[in-house]
Structure 1
């Protein structure tokens, strides 16, 4: 494995990534920067961490970690995968689909990406507690 870390070009959290069948190019659907919820802990049904890396050299171990910044960087999720960079100009696209990620409380969380143990960068996601909106009655009035 190479000691020269790749360069992170982008890091995005979103609901979905669709890859075109012909070109292979990705389309990012519904970028997620803030998650609002009435209740915590919050189980997010599906979330995708998307990133692009370049300037990689040969086999590289990639690790994606979700940490809770307000709990001393407690790890909520992590996954490792070994990838192969064909040459330094190669752009590697990763789309990690996560189901059932639990955010224990409102606050700031970070997706961190590592290559061979070296942090390349991170992407913030904020969870906010919101009040439940008033419900409309059958006659159109608002009840609290």
Structure 2
């Protein structure tokens, strides 16, 4: 088993997305403050504050949780994100070309992007080599 984790640039991307979510919540709060100007109620303002804080926490959690470019290779299968794919179900592997993400096609015809652009170049080469070594020798490799 070998795990591959994203580089520091990925952490910067996540931080930027969380800042954008915070800015979005701020813009929503500005509009809700305009509404609360016409409704003179301190309870309404407290409810808005709690809802906005909850909205920011939920969005930050979803941003962190949904983006998982980590890949783990095992002897019999590869784990991409949260999906286990046995090597014998990989029909073909298409390496990256011109800035595109490499992807695999399963025997079911499903296309799965590897999303390895956030990994170091050494890790990307190692992952591609591992996949090519473990898939059936008769598969198409472009």
TM-score normalised by L of structure 1: 0.23
TM-score normalised by L of structure 2: 0.23
Answer 1 or 2: which has greater helix percent. Answer: 2
Answer 1 or 2: which has greater strand percent. Answer: 1
